Amino acid sequence: MFVMTAAAIALAAFFCGAIPFSVILGRLFLHDDIRRYGDGNPGGGNAWRAGGPALGLAAIFLDLGKAFAPVSLALAYFDFQGAALVVVGLAPVIGHAFSPFLGFRGGKAIASTYGIWLALTGLGGPLAMAVASGFFYLLQTVDAWTVVMGMAALLAYLLLTDAGAALLLVCLLNALVVAYKHSREFKGVIELRPGFASILRRK
């Protein structure tokens, strides 16, 4: 019975995560497909490029919320541990990254990643990711490495706080999904931002 409950909640969380809010907002307010902009990703970044900060922020917060809500509700009402926690915790990210509503070609799962970790760890996990990602974004030009370093900081945070094997596995699987969705960007040449490059030249 417990296994069936966990499976049903994970399936619901998957479909919740799969809702393509960025594409929906683009259709509603721009009468356009935001996937025609930037890198073609159905996410908050291209919603921003297509419709400006207001649309972009709305898409980002909705993507974060659609991951946060099912995981936080599941944890509030059920004592999921082990494999059940892994499946339920990761489901919204998988749904966003491989949305059946978009032919399984979903987004890069950044906002949804922050959403599940806000539910799983409170502010600690997302804050660790944000600080590391912000630093590496300012340091160099390849966004994929910015994201990976954020996930590495999350892993370090989980280890330092004795988070447990289940959350560590969620983190590793989450990192694999995010790295896969950014795989094309790893081919780019890493270059220091002009500010950091000038500082190093002075030294």
Domain total of the chain: 1
Give the angle 92-20-44 at the CA atoms, nearest 5°.
Answer: 95
Give the global pTM: 0.92
Q: What is the DSSP string of 79-137?
A: ---HHHHHHHHHHHHHHHHT-GGGTT-----HHHHHHHHHHHHTTHHHHHHHHHHHHHH
Report how far apart, in Å, the C-alpha atoms of 146 and of each of 10, 15, 81, 113 are. 29, 28, 30, 14
pLDDT at res. 31: 93
β-bridge mates for residue 140, sequence order: 192
Structure tokens at 109: 């799962």
Domain that holds residue 141: 2-202
- Residue 177 near residue 97 (C-beta atoms within 8 A): yes
Note down pLDDT in tens along the chain; length 203 residues. Answer: 678 888 999 999 999 999 999 999 999 999 999 999 988 899 999 999 999 999 999 999 999 999 999 999 999 999 889 999 999 999 999 999 999 999 999 999 999 999 999 999 999 999 999 999 999 888 888 888 899 999 999 999 999 999 999 999 999 999 999 999 998 887 766 777 776 545 455 55
